[in-house]
Structure 1
Amino acid sequence: MREENRSLRQEQIEAAAYELLETKGYAGTSMQGIARKARASNETLYNWYGDKQGLFRALVTRNAAEVKGHLESELETDTDALSILESLGPKLLDLLTGDRAVALNRAAAADSTGELGATLSASGREAVFPLLEAVLLRARSSGALRFDDSAQAVGLYLDLLIGDLQIRRVIGRQPRPDAAARAARAARAVRYLKALLV
């Protein structure tokens, strides 16, 4: 199968997975159901993703790819750390408050096995956290921030940036913030981080 055809089929399969996830939850979503919805063969799904957890790991990884790629490319430059955080913030907020992240988090909360939550954590937060830690260590080495524990510093940044916004989106009590609101919140998080870690 040509690469562009495979990419198109993957998009169709993953869109079907999200649609079923929203209507049936993680436990009620099966590889067979996804294959039927996407008009794909079971064999294709198992060949490409391995199993249901592999498919959802691919969804989470793809969803987080822009943020992860942004951090990786910025860390290869000599851009100052606080500028990296300011440009990252709106992208991270867009990711975490987007419809796909909301669907994944709702399903993870309802999944009594904990499988989807573990997948979300491993392919999302745990993949991005070390990159954020590297950014904050760069800020410390340049004298822009002062802290002893880098993991706590990353946690503080995420608290300032996200707060309870994501959970309010997941429970349907907060509309998705627009680009201007995301940019303002990201700038405020960096401003407060600088004020706290001096």
Structure 2
Amino acid sequence: MPPTSDRHERRTEIEAAAFALLKELGYKKTSMLLIAKRAQASNQTLYAWYRNKQELFRGIIASFGGAVREQLQASLQAEQDPHQALRALGPALLRFTTDEYAIIMNRAAVIDAAETGVLPQAIDEVARDVLYPLICALMQRLVHQRVFVSDMAPEGMAQTYIDLLLGELQFRQALGNVPPLTEPEMIERSERAFRLTCRLFQRPEAP
């Protein structure tokens, strides 16, 4: 068995090859055999590390979720004012959830939903276990510092903010109806969600 560092590097190469094929061919045409050929890996290795292509792409989604958590945590910790942190959160979330990478994975998940359901579950886990808790914690800070009212749970505030920010955007992108957002579009959409969230929850005396 290769050393841990070598194995991690090899897995990264395999997953990069798998995503490149997914982008080029789509989910249905991407097979374990093609991934093995593109990554110059043996079928034996591929099936030993990943039982099937669903589990391979599930691993890619999980790795992506970990990277998102680290970057968002860093950006939120660096911003001491939670009000401004909320304002800065929107563009960061949109870059992670509506860029070309996310659109490709969401399209694969839509197709897999009718087959195994593994990919939509993996994406839901990233949203539920990675993104949602960070937003809830930020809302809690806003309530604690008396910027937002306390008559709604932070979880409800977080869900409202997510709905205002994303709406049906990801689903429409997965269907091919909306292209990746430009940076100005992300800023505009984020500002709208920020203003509406503050209008709903901010205390009258808050700055």
TM-score normalised per structure 1: 0.82
Let me know the Cα RMSD of the aligned residues: 2.7
Q: For residue 85 of structure 1, what is the aligned residue in structure 2?
A: 86
Cα deviation, 1:35-75, whole Å, max 9, x if unaligned, reads 12221223443565565444223311333344311332345
- Verify the 8 A CA contact 1:14 1:59 in the aligned structure 2: yes
Provide the rounded CA distance (Å) in 2 between the counterparts of 1:166 and 1:143.
33
- Asked if residue 184 in structure 1 is aligned to residue 188 in structure 2, the reply is yes
- Residue in 1 that maps onto 2:148: 145
Name the amino acid aligned to 1:60: I
Match for 1:154 among 152, 158, 175?
158
Alpha-carbon distance in 1 for matches of 2:99, 2:107: 12
Distance 2:91 2:9 in 1: 28
SS of the residue 1:128 aligns to: helix
Q: Aligned partners of 2:62 and 2:86: how far apart in 1?
A: 21
Paired with 2:79 and 2:173, the residues of 1 have a C-alpha distance of: 35
Residue 14 of structure 1: SS of its match in structure 2? Answer: helix
Which residue type is aligned with residue 122 of structure 1? E
Distance in 1 separating the partners of 2:19 and 2:145: 43
How many Å separate the matches in 1 of 2:118 and 2:174? 18
Per-residue deviation, 1:117: 0.8
**Residues 65 and 180 from structure 1, CA distance in 2 versus in 1: closer, same or farther, beyond 3 angstroms?**
farther
Alpha-carbon offset, residue 24 of structure 1: 4.4
Q: Specify every segment of 5 or more residues in structure 2 that has no aligned partner in the other structure, as ranges.
A: 203-207
- 1:38 counterpart = 2:42: no
Instruction: Please give the secondary structure, in 2, of the residue aligned with 1:40.
Output: coil
Q: CA deviation at 1:94?
A: 1.3
Distance 1:83 1:47, change over 3 A: farther
Deviations 1:138-165 (A, max 9, x none): 1111111124222221111111111222
> What's the CA shift string for 1:16-47, capped at 9, x where partnerless?
21243342426x54433311222122344356
Q: In 1, distance between residues paired with 2:98 and 2:58?
A: 18
The change in CA–CA distance for 1:12 and 1:76 in structure 2 (over 3 A counts) is: same
Which shows bigger deviation, 133-142 or 57-66? 57-66
Q: What is the distance in 1 between the residues matched to 2:77 and 2:26?
A: 42
Give the structure 1 partner of residue 133 of structure 2.
Answer: 130
Residue identity (%): 35
Contact 1:67 1:88 in 2 (8 A): no
- Aligned length in residues: 197
Q: CA 1:43 to 1:83, structure 2 compared with 1: closer, same or farther past 3 Å?
A: farther
Q: Which moved more, 1:60-69 or 1:142-151?
A: 60-69
Q: Could you tell me which residue of structure 2 aligns to residue 96 of structure 1? A: 97
- Shift of the 84–10 alpha-carbon distance from structure 1 to 2, 3 Å rule, reads farther
Give 1:25's aligned amino acid: Y
